[in-house]
Amino acid sequence: IILAAAGIKRLQLTQHIKEYLDHDTFIPAASQGAIIVTCKKNNPSLIHFIEKINDSQTRLCVETERAICAGLSLDCHAPIGVYASIENNSIIQVRISLLWENRFIQMKQSGQVDQQDVLISEIVNKIDRERGVQS
């Protein structure tokens, strides 16, 4: 049985954790573990509060993961794992694993944070070529 370690820790059952899966071995679904808060645009005090709890790096990673899935026209029901992380405040590293027509397409690619859109486009185009989908 595979369970999220965060939940096991909250239940104070860490003695039962046998192994942690790293992101090279087990790529989670896009945005897995992120907490997203939304509110009405016309509520400035709530927006101000939400901005205080926003983590800009997590937001950038979640946006990257979701944009890749959207670019591939895949939703949360598709067999795809996408994990983005930021290293040294300047490099986005993206790991992807996609089950497509009984075969795995796997990729690991990096790019500059300020070139997020270019990185997303490159990844989507490469995976589409692997899938035989014309952009």
Report the CATH number at residue 40: 3.30.160.40
**Domain membership flag for residue 15:** no
3-class state of residue 85 by DSSP: strand
Give pLDDT tens digits for 80-129: 999 999 998 888 899 999 999 999 999 999 999 999 999 999 999 999 99
Tell me how many domains the chain contains. 1
The answer to whether 34 and 82 are in contact (CB under 8 A) is no
Per the structure, the complete domain to which residue 39 belongs is given by 27-131
Measured distance CA(80)–CA(94) in Å, rounded: 13
From the CB of residue 3, how many other CB atoms can be counted at a distance below 10 Å? 11
Mention every residue, 6+ apart, whose C-beta is less than 8 A from residue 127.
72, 96, 98, 105, 107
Residue 18 domain flag: no
**For 43-69, what is the mean pLDDT?**
92
In a domain, 19, yes or no: no
3-state secondary structure of 75: coil
Q: Is residue 115 part of a domain?
A: yes
pLDDT at 130 over 70: yes
Give the mean pLDDT of 35-64: 90
Q: Has residue 1 been placed in a domain? A: no
In a domain, 7, yes or no: no
107 occurs within a structural domain: yes
Question: What integer best gives the mean pLDDT of the chain?
Answer: 91
Calculated CA dihedral for residues 82, 7, 51, 45, nearest 10 degrees: 140
- Asked if residue 9 belongs to a domain, the reply is no
